Amino acid sequence: MTDGKLTATGRPVSGVRLSRSRLWDERSRPQAPPPEAGRRYTPREQVAGGRLIEVHDYLRAELDRLRELMSEVGTGAIGPAAARAQLHRMALRPVDPATAGHCRAFCRIVLLHHHREDTDVFPRLREFEPRLGPVVDRLEQEHEALHGLVERIDRTLVAEPLDGPALRAAVDLLTDALLSHLSYEEHELVEPLARLWG
């Protein structure tokens, strides 16, 4: 049992960068308004932020698996066809063979997660807490940038011959950007989500 303090907290980013490139300037990110001083949260209010972090932790674990797989492709330990088969098994649901790309399994999870946030969660947050508008705008912009990077990885995987350094650079950039994005989203939205869905 908690004393009413918000127990779900955003995961920190390690600070270790794998890429010299950046998709955005993290220093320019807007911040959510501070929570009401002394605010206590019911057990029901605690759930929403915890669920967001659980989903993000799943994405973090899948990102680790994606990195391992791409490393094997880059070193030639496995070929692109074997990588595709493994990537497809990483999905939460079966991948439709008619639309499956080489990075669709992991990428689809990310895209579906972002789509749900953009079409369901973010509009509700905007209505519930209009002061979150700049944060939500920024999160949506970051989603678009991440989607572009996912497409870049997909294109790199289908190129002949496979460009191992380009693949590694794209996956490193995705790692840095996605981990940073997930942490930012958690730090800014866990508390408002508690109030919204409490």
What's the pLDDT at 141?
Answer: 93
In a domain, 14, yes or no: no
Query: Which has more pLDDT, 151 or 85?
Result: 151
Say yes or no to pLDDT of 48 above 90: no
Total structural domains in the chain?
A: 1
Is 177 part of a structural domain of the chain? yes
- What is the reported pLDDT for 84? 59
Position 104 in a domain: yes
Say if 94 falls within a structural domain. Answer: yes
Mean pLDDT of 140-146: 90
Top mean pLDDT of 8-17, 65-74, 97-106, 161-170 is at 8-17
For residues 176 and 76, give the distance between their C-alpha atoms in angstroms, rounded to a whole number.
Answer: 24
Half-sphere exposure of 120 (CA within 13 A, CB side): 8
- Judged by DSSP in three states, 110 sits in helix
Residue 18 lies in a domain: no
Residue 123, C-beta contacts closer than 8 angstroms, at least 6 positions apart: none
The per-residue pLDDT for 97 is 37
Q: How many residues does the chain have?
A: 198
Tokens of 138: 């920024």
In a domain, 37, yes or no: no
Domain of 125?
42-196
**Average pLDDT estimate for 70-85:** 73
Residue 160 inside a domain? The answer is: yes
CATH number for the domain including 85? 1.20.120.520
- Which region among 38-47, 93-102, 160-169, 177-186 has the lowest average model confidence (pLDDT)? 93-102
Q: What is the pLDDT of residue 2?
A: 57
Residues above pLDDT 90, as percent of the chain = 26
Q: Is residue 140 part of a domain?
A: yes
pLDDT in tens, 23-46: 999 999 999 999 888 888 888 888
Query: pLDDT tens, 79-127?
Result: 766 765 666 555 433 333 332 343 445 555 666 655 566 666 788 888 8
pLDDT of residue 76: 78
Q: Residue 30's pLDDT is what?
A: 97
What is the overall mean pLDDT for the chain?
Answer: 80
